[in-house]
Copies of this chain bind each other. A is one copy, B any other.
């Protein structure tokens, strides 16, 4: 018997972000071990300092009672079930593991992987509304038809688009990331087309919405998180995206002229050959798409770093060195305080 989704949701253990509703209460929860450190107080008492995580955030926990035993039992990366009391310490929420609590390491079939795969903050409904808005504003008949074909008429494709992540590790690496990224890029492109009025707005927005659509074949969500597929390794999202959109353009009998311009935007959106585009952007619309989508990826990365590091230590000024950006980021960049 498969329980209805709502029922499962109702009785599930609280997420980390929900613990603020349980302050000074005892809870049972399922979390992943992010770090652990066996420490000793001045007077020689051992305690275990833990960081837990799920897709909603990070949680500090302390075990004062079975520090050594639990240190031996669990490893970083384990998913565990535990009980504790939710308290406020040092201005942040903390879980004090109970004396009689057992920290149990769970197998993959003993928890729901969804607890640990993040989701975009942009809801699927909100994403659909925004895409509909863009479709409504397109004046070019062929491009409008194409977007309707993809986002309205082909439910499988549309569903895949709404739930796919847009990355493995570096940016938008969560469920719904592809839609969020595509829509943000389209929004900025819309603004840009108002300032450079000689650009073809409809082409630009259509390209922005579709540039990464091939990513629906690049990733799959397993118990290890998001993983690259065989198709992702051998073909890659740029050519898969070309393939998806080409088929739809054929279906609606788009002119070869228009088709080539749009497909060119998909193929060239990485901007440089060494970044994996088989052709350089040779239209202004392709060039703008490349620049804006690159900027959105990097800003998403920076924002994630900022959120994650300040959550752990709100006083931190500089991020750790980030290999994908090749630098440290100033976390206190904002003069508004």
Contact = CB atoms under 8 A, between A and B. Distances in A.
Contacts of A200: 333-336
Contact of A263 (B235, B256, B280, B318): B235
A327 to B, nearest CB: 5
A82 interface: no
A279 B235 contact: yes
A248 B199 CA distance: 37
Given A235-B260, A277-B278, A230 B335 contact: no
B288 A291 contact: no
Interface string A259-274: 0110110010000011
Given A191-B188, A233-B318, A202 B239 contact: no
Interface stretch (A23-31, A95-103, A297-305): A297-305
A238 interface: yes
A234 B238 CA distance: 14
A195 B203 contact: no
A167 to B, nearest CB: 17
This chain: copies in complex? 6
Interface size class of A (residues with CB under 8 A): 35 or more
A308 interface: no
Given A234-B261, A287-B299, A335-B258, A282 B239 contact: no
Interface in A166-203: 184, 187-188, 191-192, 195-196, 198-200, 202-203
A328 interface: yes
Nearest to A237: B278
A260 B230 contact: yes
The residue among A234, A287, A318 with the most chain B CB atoms within 10 A of its own CB is A234
Interface of A: 140, 143, 184, 187-188, 191-192, 195-196, 198-200, 202-203, 230-231, 233-236, 238-239, 242-243, 246, 256, 258, 260-261, 263-264, 267, 273-280, 282-285, 287-288, 291-292, 294-295, 298-299, 302-303, 306, 317-318, 326-330, 333-336
20 contacts: A187-B195, A199-B334, A202-B335, A231-B256, A233-B318, A234-B261, A234-B264, A234-B279, A236-B278, A238-B278, A267-B278, A273-B274, A274-B274, A276-B279, A282-B330, A284-B299, A285-B333, A287-B298, A291-B291, A291-B298
Which 4 A/B pairs are nearest by Cβ-Cβ distance? A191-B191, A234-B264, A283-B333, A274-B274
